Amino acid sequence: MTAENHKARLRRLELVFLYAPRYFITACTHSRRHILANASVHESFVRFSLQAPEHGAWVGAYVLMPDHFHAFVAIDDQELSLSVWVKSLKNSISKTLRQNGIGAPHWQKAFFDHLLRSAESSTEKWYYVRENPVRAGLVSRWEDWPFRGEVFPPEYRSEH
């Protein structure tokens, strides 16, 4: 086969992340029940997120809405899948909900995730997410929404 008859093949690039890949995730409650925007669920979310680095995950900014949450998460453990981590988070929050007398089911089975490829992408998503409570008519300024925050700064890294 001559060079002119041979189609050049595109090579797959070996995707290497110098830092842990970051995801924007959204998970919704079952039947969009309004069960998340309260102090005990917020405390449960933060407590789980503070322990997440022990399991290879780092939670950045987040917003808990009444019927869903948004979070920015980095996974730095190749053994940990994002879906396993989200399932663990949902289970942790469900335990708190049960303790508060809120019966199951608590969650939609699926969740949405988007791999963030740039700081610009992260910034655009954050501007959208932080305004959710304002668009929903829950507060007049996003800063006034009590169920939001940042667990680890966006530059989070594992020590290993």
Instruction: Report the pLDDT value the prediction gives residue 75, as an integer from 0 to 100.
Output: 85
Q: Within a domain: residue 13? A: no
Percentage of the chain exceeding pLDDT 70: 80
Split at pLDDT 50, 70, 90, the class of 121 is confident
* Domain tally, the chain: 1
* CA–CA–CA angle 105, 27, 104 (5° rounding): 10
Q: Within a domain: residue 3? A: no
Q: Within a domain: residue 12? A: no
Q: Within a domain: residue 54? A: yes
Q: Within a domain: residue 139? A: yes
Range of the domain at 130: 22-150
Q: Within a domain: residue 92? A: yes
- Cα–Cα distance between 19 and 22 in angstroms, integer? 9
